[in-house]
């Protein structure tokens, strides 16, 4: 378990999180839901160690985190392949890649169907292609705790499915993922465990059966929903 206990955080002298408790099971796909500004990115950054809380206790079980921000600017002048390779140079302070490392990059690019774009300058990739390229870096990293901030934001439906199918497989490699997401149906389809933050920063959490509950979703989004469950496949609709 990743555990956050009694956590308080101030932003500009205003209490943002007030003694919150939240935990995430390891080796699962965890999804954080909430309205814009609810604090999803803040929570990810706290787990990544990038935002230091004012009080509280965070236990990450010594997992090695990799945080993928919501928005990254392309690096001008670098091709997709060079950009991805640079992560190895950076993390290991080296100038050359081994054959094995090169093959690993190629196989991830093939899996994400980016191989044909490998020599294209990063600034010329579409937003979704560049996002996939950054997810490839997460998959190549040696981290076992992937913190992905809206990884599917710029992707079409097919690419969202491909990327989430890949992320799902990471559980078999003992990798824990915590993902922020706005699409509740995508969340219900792929997630194992859910954390919701409402606008008053109350935390709701649970597995699919507990969390996909009309009352909980209404508290988080402040609008009514209708949830149907067909053989374990949850479908969430806005209810008027």
Q: Which of 4, 17, 30, 39 binds ligand ATP (CB under 6 A)?
A: 39
- The span from the CA of 120 to the CA of 128, in Å, is 14
Q: Is 36 in the site for ligand ATP (CB under 6 A)?
A: yes
Token duo for residue 222? 């402040």
- What is the spatial distance between Cα 209 and Cα 217, in angstroms, rounded to a whole number? 13
Task: Return the number of the residue (34 or 53) whose C-beta is nearest ligand ATP.
Answer: 34
Among the listed residues 2, 4, 24, 41, the single contact to ligand ATP using CB under 6 A: 41
Is residue 53 within the footprint of ligand ATP (CB under 6 A)?
no
13 binds ligand ATP (CB under 6 A): no
40 counts as binding ligand ATP under rule CB under 6 A: yes
Minimum separation from the CB atom of position 12 to ligand ATP (A): 5
Q: Which is nearer to ligand ATP, 36 or 73 (CB)?
A: 36
Between 34 and 151, whose beta carbon lies closer to ligand ATP? 34
- The per-residue DSSP string of 38-68 comes to SSHHHHHHHHHTSS--SEEEEE-TT--EEEE
Our CB check for ligand ATP shows the closer of 115 and 153 to be 153
Distance of closest approach, residue 87 Cβ to ligand ATP, in angstroms: 24
Shortest Å distance, C-beta 228 to ligand ATP: 26
- Write 78-82 long-range contacts (CB < 8 A, 24+): 78/121, 78/122, 79/118, 79/119, 79/120, 79/121, 79/122, 80/109, 80/114, 80/117, 80/118, 80/119, 80/120, 80/121, 80/122, 80/125, 80/129, 80/133, 81/105, 81/109, 81/118, 81/119
Chain contacts with ligand ATP (rule: CB under 6 A): 11-12, 34, 36-42
């Amino acid at each position: 378990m990743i555990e956050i206990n009694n956590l308080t955080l101030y932003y500009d002298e205003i209490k943002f999180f007030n003694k919150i408790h939240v935990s995430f099971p390891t080796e699962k796909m965890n999804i954080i839901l909430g309205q814009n500004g609810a604090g999803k990115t803040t929570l990810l950054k706290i787990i990544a160690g990038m935002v230091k809380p004012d009080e509280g206790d965070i236990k990450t079980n010594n997992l090695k985190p990799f945080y993928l921000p919501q928005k990254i600017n392309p690096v001008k002048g670098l091709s997709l392949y060079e950009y991805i390779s640079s992560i190895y140079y950076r993390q290991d302070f080296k100038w050359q890649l081994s054959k094995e490392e090169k093959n690993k990059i190629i196989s991830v690019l093939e899996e994400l169907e980016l191989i044909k774009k490998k020599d294209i300058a990063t600034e010329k990739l579409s937003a979704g292609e560049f996002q996939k390229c950054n997810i490839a870096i997460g998959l190549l990293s040696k981290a076992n705790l992937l913190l992905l901030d809206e990884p599917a934001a710029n992707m079409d439906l097919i690419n969202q499915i491909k990327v989430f199918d890949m992320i799902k497989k990471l559980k078999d490699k003992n990798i824990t993922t915590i993902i922020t997401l706005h699409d509740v149906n995508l969340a219900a389809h792929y997630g194992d465990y859910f954390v919701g933050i409402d606008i008053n920063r109350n935390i709701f959490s649970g597995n699919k059966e507990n969390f996909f509950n009309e009352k909980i979703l209404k508290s988080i989004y402040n609008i009514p929903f209708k949830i149907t469950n067909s053989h374990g496949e949850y479908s969430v609709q806005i209810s008027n």
